[in-house]
Chain A
Amino acid sequence: MTSPRQRATAEFVLDHLVWFMLAAVLIVFSLFVPNFFQIGIFANIIEQSTFVGVMAIGLAIVIIAGHMDLSVESTAALAAMLTGILFCARGIGLGITFTPEWLVLPISLLLALAVGGLIGLINGFFTIKLKMNAFIVTLASYIWVRGLVVAISGGRSAQDLAPSIRVIGIQTFLHVPLIAWIAIACFAIFSFIMSRTPFGRHITLVGGNPVAAFRAGIKVDRLMFISFILAGAIAGLAGWLLAIRTSGATANLGTGMLFNAFAAVVIGGVSLKGGVGRLPGVYAGVLLLSSIHTAINLMGLPAHYTQVILGLLVLAAVLLDTLKLQIRQRFA
């Protein structure tokens, strides 16, 4: 009925659907949205994708491993607030400096990663050691970590981050700020880890069938723990970047990002069943969302419509995930 080549083509299109969607959307917007087709706009889309993108990496890894992490947004906010309080000069900032001055960059980064990793460790402890449901554990973290951010800041904000850190938010390379390049580098590195190393392979295996992986001698619990810590640390990185971009932190920084990250992960082809998904697809999902966001702004529509479109996109993505199997069976 269908030749192997047709089948291979269908498989390829299904696996990389988000890229086709991204290409289609960019072409349509370029043709019909005034002022969309310019380098500045594309650079802006990439820059906008930085924070949600980085956050989505960790979220995707945990979901591929067969779990869930709703806490990434609050974790990022905590890392941002910590960076803000310690290294901002005004507001609630303590304005800590080092000599030489550039030392603040690696130290603040390490702190952000550590605090994120710590939240991940706590999530992992309750989920893996105490065998609690990851959804509930990380929902609780989503709430209490944000609460902690509000508490330690007293609801106030920190401004004026040291210029020696801000440089990576301001400097551009090929019209794109360095922080966006950091996000792209993260995607490249973690895509490689997930698809080409035993660690990534084992995460995928565990997400598909933890019992089989355990029997094959894979240390499932350890791997799950690492994926939670990784998701936390990556969220910490997202928060650090966010603090740099906004040159400080407010108590409500990053609110709503979880849903964007979640949408990007699902649209990017990561299955909520676990074990299925590719990180480049997730990045395409983030770019897709940013493109739509930008187009809506350019058309002068109220920003609230983005949320409606976002919701519909997530619904479509999940529907597609369900339909994929049926489409595949037709071609099999």
Chain B
Amino acid sequence: MSGDPLLRLQDITRNFGAIEALRGISFEVQRGEVLALLGDNGAGKSTLVKIISGGLKPTSGSLYFDGRERNFTSPADAKAEGIETVYQDLSLCTNVDVVANFFMGREIVKRYFGIPVLQEAEMEAAVTRAMSNAGTRIPSLRTNVEYLSGGQRQAIELNRFVHWGGKLVLLDEPFAALGVEQTRRGLEMIRRIADQGIGVIIITHIMAQAFQVADRIVVIRQGLVAGNVARAKTSPDEVVRMITGEAQLGTAQETRPNGPAA
């Protein structure tokens, strides 16, 4: 894991009017690394995710991805560069079927006289393959998503980002609606993705999940990085203290001191 980091954030800030949601965030994600982003409600995690995925522009600071500085203006931008995002409130259109959701915005088309025509059979075959590779069973891929359960919907999202690959995957509270078994499978899937050399950022506030899957844990507190530690070198207790703000700065700032000058 040498060379440039896959993603480097440098002093990212974001204000909403007078509110400073992010006050200078810096950290790096390596290729093949699973980074768990923790923090209390309102710490700024979701704002940060939106900035990385192109949905929001930072007020100041720079974002380097894959060796170059980037200024994403839309999720389409970030996606084109290889950043996939799974949001906690699921990005599915319940009014269409599984196949249409899977290929949302990237439909397979064939041009007849310059007119793009959807290739439904081809897309259905691809979804069938992706689903069976992941061990997900959905009775019919032609069922509208509104008739599927929460777990099935989550599985579509997860399989979708696995299928599209990309270089960096952002998961915002991906297991909020899942049962124990589905969560375990989801965590395994994350590991498999990282092993392919893809960077993964997983936002969660369930400590056990973070410790189960992450290589590195970054704690955000009041819009600042309150801790950035390798999982092997920390403990749940210490991370909790970082989240609540009781941690000793010395141990928490293992790599890149970036908090308020104490």
Contact = CB atoms under 8 A, between A and B. Distances in A.
Interface of A: 196-198, 201-202, 204-205, 207-209, 211-219, 274-276, 328, 332
Contact of B147 (A209, A213, A328): A328
Given A217-B75, A332-B147, A197 B116 contact: yes
For B53, B91, B100, B116, which residue has the most chain A Cβ atoms within 10 angstroms? Answer: B91
Interface of B: 53, 55, 74-76, 79-80, 85, 87, 90-96, 100, 104-107, 109, 115-118, 147
Contacts of A201: 96, 100, 107, 118
B171 to A, nearest CB: 13
Contacts of B105: 202, 205, 213, 216-218
A208 B93 contact: yes
Contacts of A213: 93, 104-105
Contacts of B116: 197-198
A215 B55 contact: yes
A11 B100 CA distance: 18
B47 to A, nearest CB: 15
Contacts of B74: 214, 217
A215 B93 CA distance: 11
Nearest to A202: B105
A174 B118 CA distance: 33
Contacts of A217: 74-76, 79-80, 105-106
Interface SS of chain A: helix, strand, loop or mixed?
A: helix
A214 B76 CA distance: 8
Nearest to B55: A215
Contacts of B76: 217-219
B95 A207 contact: yes
Contacts of A207: 95
B87 A215 contact: yes
A215 B53 CA distance: 9
Given A215-B87, A217-B74, A204 B95 contact: yes
Interface SS of chain B: helix, strand, loop or mixed?
A: loop
A232 to B, nearest CB: 22
B147 A205 contact: no
Given A197-B117, A215-B85, A217-B76, A209 B95 contact: yes
A211 B107 contact: no
B118 A198 contact: yes
A274 B109 CA distance: 24
A205 B76 CA distance: 16
A209 B94 contact: yes
Given A275-B93, A275-B95, 6 more contacts: A204-B95, A205-B104, A209-B91, A211-B91, A212-B91, A274-B95
A205 B85 contact: no
A216 B96 contact: no
Contacts of A215: 53, 55, 75, 85, 87, 91
A113 B107 CA distance: 30
Contacts of B117: 196-197
B118 to A, nearest CB: 5
A292 B95 CA distance: 32
Given A198-B109, A219-B76, A212 B96 contact: no
Contact of B94 (A196, A208, A214, A219): A208
A218 B104 contact: yes
Nearest to B103: A201
B160 to A, nearest CB: 9
B104 A276 contact: no
B107 A198 contact: yes
A58 B262 CA distance: 63
For B105, B106, B115, B118, which residue has the most chain A Cβ atoms within 10 angstroms? Answer: B105
A214 B75 contact: yes
A211 B106 CA distance: 16
A205 B74 CA distance: 18
Q: Which 8 A-B pairs have the closest CB atoms?
A: A208-B95, A217-B76, A275-B95, A216-B105, A208-B93, A212-B91, A216-B104, A209-B93
Contacts of A197: 109, 115-118
Contacts of A208: 93-96
Nearest to B78: A217
A328 B55 CA distance: 36
Contacts of A219: 76
21 contacts: A197-B115, A197-B117, A197-B118, A202-B105, A204-B93, A205-B105, A208-B95, A209-B92, A211-B91, A213-B104, A214-B74, A215-B55, A215-B87, A216-B91, A217-B75, A217-B79, A217-B105, A218-B76, A218-B104, A274-B95, A275-B93
A205 B102 CA distance: 12
Contact of A205 (B80, B96, B118): B96
Contacts of A204: 93, 95-96, 100
Contacts of A275: 93, 95-96
Contacts of B95: 204, 207-209, 274-276
Nearest to B75: A215
Contacts of B92: 209, 212
A311 to B, nearest CB: 28
A212 B118 contact: no
